[in-house]
Every structure is written in C-alpha cells, then in structure tokens.
Structure 1
Amino acid sequence: MRVGVFASLLALAGAALGSATKRWSTDVPSGFVTTNGTTFSLDGKPFAFVGTNAYWLPLLESQADVDSTLASMQAAGVKVLRTWGFNAINGSELANATATNLTYYQLWNSSTWELNEGPQGLQRLDYVIESAAKYDIKIILTFTNNWFGYGGAELYINWIVGAPATHDEFYTNPAIVSEYQRYVSTIVNRYMNSSAIFAWELMNEARCSGDLLPSGPNCKPGSGTLALWYQQQSDYVRSLDPYHMITTGGEGQFYWAQPATYWYNNTLVSDYNYNGEAGEDFESTLGLPNIDFGTYHMYPQTWYPELDFPGSNWTVEQFGLDWIDAHISTAMMVGKPLIIEEFGALGLTNKTSIYPVWVQEALNTYHASIMPWQWGQLNLTEPTHILKYADEILDGATPNDGYAFYPNQTDVWNILLNAAAVQESRSG
C-alpha cells in the first residue's frame, strides 16, 4: 500500500463514516435499482454488473447507430451505461451547431439559458433512454461537467459571474446554484418515471479548480465546500425524486490527516489525490444520507506523468491496486456500494496486462462494479461527423482518446466479457 493508507483510514472521524442511512421504502417502483447494504438490488434480487462509459451516445445523429451500439453493449454483458445528461453551447456557437447538426440541450445568451427540446436537443437523449430500456441497460445520467467540455461549470460561471471569478464559485454563488438546479429539475422531471435510469449524478469530476479558472480561498483542503454542495444538491434531487439513486460522479480524492507522499526530483511531495487539494473528501461525502453509493476514477499515467518513466520504482499497476484498496476500505466502513466508474491505461499492451489485475482486485475484494472508460463502437452509419472540440465519428468509429477499447481488440474485449460473466453469476 502507499504510505499512510491504513493509518489514515483508521484515523478517520467516526461521524463521516457512520452507518448508511436506510432510505429505501417498500414501494420502490418495479425495475428501479436500489441499494442493499454494500450491494445493489433490482426487484429484490442482487444486481452486480459490468458497465461502461459512452459520453458520445446522445451526440449521434442516427437512431440506428444508437440501437446498434446498445445491442453491442448488451451482447457483451454490459448492464449499466454512463453518459452525459448535459450539452450546452454559447449563442455564438448556434449557427455552427445548426450547420453541423450538433446535439445541444442548453443555449446560453445571457445569465440564464434556453432549453432545446427539439430533434437536435433533448429528443436525442430521449431516444437513448428509450432504447436503453429495450436492451435492458440502465443509465447513470450526469447533470454537468467540472471541465469545459460540452458546457460545464465554467460556462455557468462565465455567463452569470463573469471576470474575475474563481472556479469554486460554481458551488457557492446562489445565482449559479439556482440555474444548475433549474436544469437538474428539467432533466429529473423528464425521466424520473423511467426504470432505465440507474442513478442521477451531480457532476463529472468536481474539483475546486477547472480547466481555465483557479480555485479560490474558500475552496481548499478542509473547507468542505464540495461536500456541502454535494449534500445540498443531493438533498434537492431527492426532493424531486424519492426513488432513483443519487451519486456524486467524483474522482474519489481523499482528505487524509496523513496524506500519501512520493519522492520527485529529490523532494518529498504530498500527494494531490490524498491531501485534499482537489476539494474532494471521499470519506465524508460517501457518508451523506442522499449519496447512495461511491464513485471513483483512476488514470495513473495522466495523473503522475513525472513518475511514469522507464526504470521508475513507481508503477501504473501498483498505484491502481492501492487506489482501489483505499476506496474499498472506506466503502466497507461506510457500508455502501462502490463503483470504479472510470478507469483507463494508455497503450494496448498496458490495457491487456494491467486491466485484468485491476478488475480482479475490484471484483474479488469488494464485489465492486466496474465501468472502464470508454466504449468504442465500429461500423456506424455516420462515416465522419464532427461532434465538438477534437471529438468526431471517423470512418464509422467512435472517438478514440487513447482509452477507448473496440470489439476488434480481442484481448481487451475478453477482459470485459469475463468480468461480465462473473458479475452475472452474482446477480439474481
């Protein structure tokens, strides 16, 4: 284990790790997934799963391509799909969005936004959710993004606060919170009766800082800014929907009294993922009454490029094992289910050698659910379609950010199939 893992866990405050609040009532609608202690349950039976990520699915123009993708997922044993429930643009982008048939749900021209419910808007998300139900796939739907991509937190900040601003104003500015909740209520009210929804997710990878804006003095280790926001927003979503599960979408950074450390350039460095600098506090957040299960993400190569070099005594594989074990230990003490919601390694060789080790650790140690980033689909009917930024459908293949895995990558694909078979054996 990394330095201080067990010592820090044992030193956690008891209040943050109290018993999970039992909330689920006996009148949960049929087909809705719930929690049962440290596991998930569907209609009174265990629900263990392998899932995947496909943020791009609602961006597809072709309904046939949506269907073929979900059919491929079902054939591979995927039971849960995580995708974006947000896509926002500035008014200055509207002409290009119209010309390129870009999916968008929010249009910003002032300190408020307009909803696009048309065929280029929420009707595309409608179809994804309807199609997922046909293929018995549940959806984790994310409300917004910490990052700039597809209209995240800083779009709210830029329009409502303007310059100068810090990224953490997204969590504390009343006008921003109001506009966020207005969008959340739109999405929740639209799909709250659908059994295809696995859970609502408050934000993708919330941090004190973002792509362009730094964090402010009110969002720092120990400030509790993100934990308070998680509490307030999960309570708000619960007020709208008493039945669907809610989670954070966080990367799972810790705030330990004795953070993990590592040596770099002859200096002992306090580890960002353990010292609270991100603003996350996985232990306290997981204890919130309306956060039903834990999520965490894992990208060692991009998080620690200064340590990932030939001859280093630091390894991608071992960091992943330690990161998995730290989250499992916390989830065990809190008594809630756990999902490794995103994980990835760059390079086919790394995927084929490291993924089996990570997946086995997660499945065997806690029976945790896994969701690799990201699903790759081939032979789409859209040969070339610019989505946004550098993302595109190219020659019938979905975007490849280096982490995508495709059906023709047999060794990686079989890791997913084998894990899905294990989880199926644990389900009712």
Structure 2
Amino acid sequence: MRLLALTRLAVLVPLMTAATQKRAVPEGFVTTNGQTFELDGEPFYYMGTNAFWLGLLTSPEDVDATFLTMADAGIKVARTWAFNAINATELPTALETNLTYYQVWNDSDWTLNEGPQGLQRLDYVVSSATQHGIKLILTFTNNWVGYGGMELYIYHILGNTATHDEFYTDPTIIASYQRYVTAIVNRYANSSAVFAWELMNEARCAGDSLPAGPDCVPGSETLTTWYQSQSDFVRSLDPYHMITTGGEGQFYWAQPDEYWYNGTLVSDFNFNGEAGEDFEASLSLSNIDFGTYHLYPQTWYPELDYPGSNFSVLNWGLGWIGAHANTSAYVGKPVIMEEFGVTGLDNKTSIYPVWVGYAIATGHARVHPWQFGMLNLTEDGGNRVLKYTDQIYQGASPNDGFTVYPNQTSVWDVFVAAAIVQDWRT
C-alpha cells in the first residue's frame, strides 16, 4: 500500500515545487541544480560506495590499489571517515600497532595529530582519490563509539552523567566540535576531490552508551537545529563544497507508520521522530545541499524478520526508497541512498538489483552500498588488527557481513552494471 501511494506522489509532487537555486563553484567541484548534481555544468550521475577504513591503511600502495579497483568498477564517489579519535590512555597501544589517530583526548580537551600517523594519512587518501578521479564524502564525527565518535566529546567535557543529546546543545562541546571541523575543512577546502562535507554519521538522540534526554524527543527538532547551525558554520568556512547531514533519513510524520508485534500496535521509530531526525525539515535547510538516508531493515526490525513471517525486507526497502524520492521531489534537492545492506549472499543477490534499480528509476537517488570490499591488501603481510572487531584478514578489508568483494561476482556485477547505467545517463 505505502509503496504504491509514494510512487504516485513522486510523480505529482514535482509540479508543486520550485528548483533550488544553483550555486556557482570552481572548476572540478560538484554542486546541485534542483534535484540533480552537476559537475562543470553537466549532470553528474554516479555509482558510490563506503570505505570507512581508507584512512586506517598504513601502506600508500594499498590506498592506491583500492582506489584503482574502485575506478575500474566505475565508482566515482567514496564515503570515508575524516575522524579517528582516541583517549590518551590508548596512545601507547596506538603507537605500538600503528593505528591511525587524528585526535588525542586528555581530560577536557584534545590535541590534533598532523603527523605521519595522523592527518598525513588522510592527506594521502585525498591525494590518491584525486589521482584516480574519485571524489570523497568526508564525515566529521560519529554518533556511535567507533573510531572516536561524539560520546568522547561528552565524556571528556561533561562526564558520564550527561545525556547523549547534550552534544547538540552544550556550548563547550559545540565549540570543540567546530574547532575540529575547522581543521579538516581548512585543510581540504581547495581540493576538488571533496564531494561534500558530512556533519555526522547517523546522528540520533541516543547513542551506544548514553541515553537520550528530555530535550531530544519527537517534535523537539534538536537535531534539525544542530544541523542548521553546523551547516551554517561550515558554509562560513567554505562557500563552495556541498554539505550534508549524514543522517539515516528517519521521518517525523503526523501519522507515522505502525506495525503489530506480540499483539501490540507499535509506532515505527523510522517515521515517528523518536530517533530525532526530521528528514524533510533537515533537507529544507538552506546550507544542506542534499539529503542522505540509510537502509538496514534486517537490523532495524529483527523482531519482524524471521522465517515464516509476513515481513518483506525487499518490499520495506522499496517503500523507504520511495518515501525519500518523494521528499526529494517535494523539497527540490537531491538525495542519495548513502548506506544500505543485507546479510547473506543470496539476500544480496536477490534484493540489491531491485533496490538499486528502483533508486535509479526514481531519478532522485545515487547509491552507496555498505561497504566496499578490497582484496590483496599487502600491509603487515595482509593481516592486521585495526580496532574493535575490524581487521585486515588474509589481505581482505574489514568484513562486517555487509561487505561486498570483487570475487563475489553475482553481487559485485550489480554495482558495476549500475555504474554503467549512471555513466550512460551522464
């Protein structure tokens, strides 16, 4: 029902909206023109990917080989972390294991690491991307604990009694975040390799270890206000590169979707504002150039996704894609399917072609599967523990169950084919 309604709306809504004002940018920079990306005055359609671990590689040859493999597959935009923060207590281990780190937190402040084990590694990623014709979405911090996300700011500045959402409102934390953002933006402001700056990966009211507080609830617009102030700040540093949120794309609908579970009608957090996002409101902000959404039905609805249930991962994803295409048309800005994944090779083979095909058919979406898999990495003999459960194992980049490697041809070819289609459209 929802998919059919959204498909009809996506046809009608563009007649009701005006195109977003196009911003002039230097040669080689991507910008937007209504719902379309443009590069040097021409429409820019592309196939994208995610490779958060690029800055963690210690071998320039492995970085180059990764970008070459991406380019050969037709990928034009890659998303990666422009953050890697550690506590001072972790520094000895980081030095011993050659872990990349850009920030070192000690007490209530952090020190920037611009050395060969720090931002010089990100410098090389940007340089290699330039050489291989690939543009980068650079993300400033993480809602989650991985590689030093926002809760490091909270713990060091406010302590462990704070709530997760105080990151978005506390003046000292905001100033600290902006100081880091300034360092990254100023470092790469002149680089045409930067596709866009991204404010945060998957901002929510709650995090891994800290709960949401009473000031971050449906309708509070805490995240929207933060998106506005931080996108305005980044725009003051850089008038040319695009800016996006990095959000998962949750909605705040007046009549959110519901579903039955254990005899109870449950309000769907992806549509009721519980996570903190209001996709339409954030996409409408003046300095948010395009929208992002993520797609993980198996992870989001484990209570519904079981053998014999009536829940369809494939169909739920189609509805989610349609909802964001509709909002893109209504607001008049592009959106990208920035992350998506299912586990299991059979699931990937059957579901990805349908999702990707529908996203492209809407005319409003570019796709970034989570995540890119690289083989034949050579550093440390092809075996190296990174952090958490991430590792280079037998020459393969980290595998979280969603990773797609070149030797999985039935899945890999889905994205190679999509890249060809996007090239043809351009």
Q: Map 1:17-416; keep pairs closer than 5 Å.
A: 19=18, 21-22=20-21, 24-25=23-24, 28-382=25-379, 383-416=382-415
Which residue does 1:14 correspond to in 2?
Answer: none
Which residue does 1:425 correspond to in 2?
Answer: 424
Task: Give ranges in structure 1 of 5+ residues lacking alignment.
Answer: 11-16
Name the CA shift for 1:316/1:308 in 2 (closer, same or farther; >3 Å).
same
Give TM-score scaled by structure 2 length. Answer: 0.96
Equivalent-residue separation in structure 2 for 1:223 and 1:5 (angstroms): 28
Shift of 1:163: 2.6
Equivalent-residue separation in structure 2 for 1:411 and 1:3 (angstroms): 27
Equivalent-residue separation in structure 1 for 2:233 and 2:146 (angstroms): 25
Name the CA shift for 1:45/1:368 in 2 (closer, same or farther; >3 Å).
same
Shift of 1:310: 1.2
**Alpha carbons 2:374, 2:396 under 8 Å: kept:** yes
Equivalent-residue separation in structure 1 for 2:124 and 2:224 (angstroms): 34
**Alpha carbons 1:40, 1:48 under 8 Å: kept:** yes
**Alpha carbons 1:286, 1:293 under 8 Å: kept:** yes
Quick check: 365-374 or 312-321, which moved more?
Answer: 365-374
Equivalent-residue separation in structure 1 for 2:233 and 2:61 (angstroms): 36
**Alpha carbons 1:52, 1:374 under 8 Å: kept:** yes
**Alpha carbons 1:108, 1:114 under 8 Å: kept:** yes
**Alpha carbons 2:280, 2:327 under 8 Å: kept:** yes
Equivalent-residue separation in structure 2 for 1:23 and 1:170 (angstroms): 32
**Alpha carbons 1:5, 1:260 under 8 Å: kept:** no
Equivalent-residue separation in structure 1 for 2:206 and 2:417 (angstroms): 38
Equivalent-residue separation in structure 1 for 2:72 and 2:248 (angstroms): 29
Equivalent-residue separation in structure 1 for 2:5 and 2:137 (angstroms): 30
Shift of 1:2: 3.7
Equivalent-residue separation in structure 1 for 2:50 and 2:160 (angstroms): 34
Shift of 1:239: 0.2
- 1:294-346 residue CA offsets vs partner (Å, 9 max, x unmatched): 10000000000000011111110011000000000000010101100000000
- 1:16-70 residue CA offsets vs partner (Å, 9 max, x unmatched): x975652503xx1110000011010000011000000000011001000000000
Name the CA shift for 1:19/1:167 in 2 (closer, same or farther; >3 Å).
farther
Task: Give ranges in structure 2 of 5+ residues lacking alignment.
Answer: 11-15
Equivalent-residue separation in structure 2 for 1:359 and 1:37 (angstroms): 22
- 1:375-419 residue CA offsets vs partner (Å, 9 max, x unmatched): 000011021111111101111110100000000000001100110
**Alpha carbons 1:105, 1:117 under 8 Å: kept:** yes
Partner AA of 2:383 in structure 1: T
Greater than 3 Å deviation, 4+ residue runs: 1-7, 17-21
Which SS does the other structure have where 2:76 is aligned? strand
Shift of 1:350: 0.1
The root-mean-square deviation of aligned C-alpha atoms, in Å, is: 1.6
Equivalent-residue separation in structure 2 for 1:70 and 1:185 (angstroms): 27
**Alpha carbons 2:114, 2:120 under 8 Å: kept:** yes
Shift of 1:367: 4.5
Which SS does the other structure have where 1:66 is aligned? helix
Which SS does the other structure have where 2:255 is aligned? coil
Which SS does the other structure have where 2:277 is aligned? coil
Which SS does the other structure have where 2:164 is aligned? coil
Which residue does 2:13 correspond to in 1?
Answer: none
How many residues are matched? 418
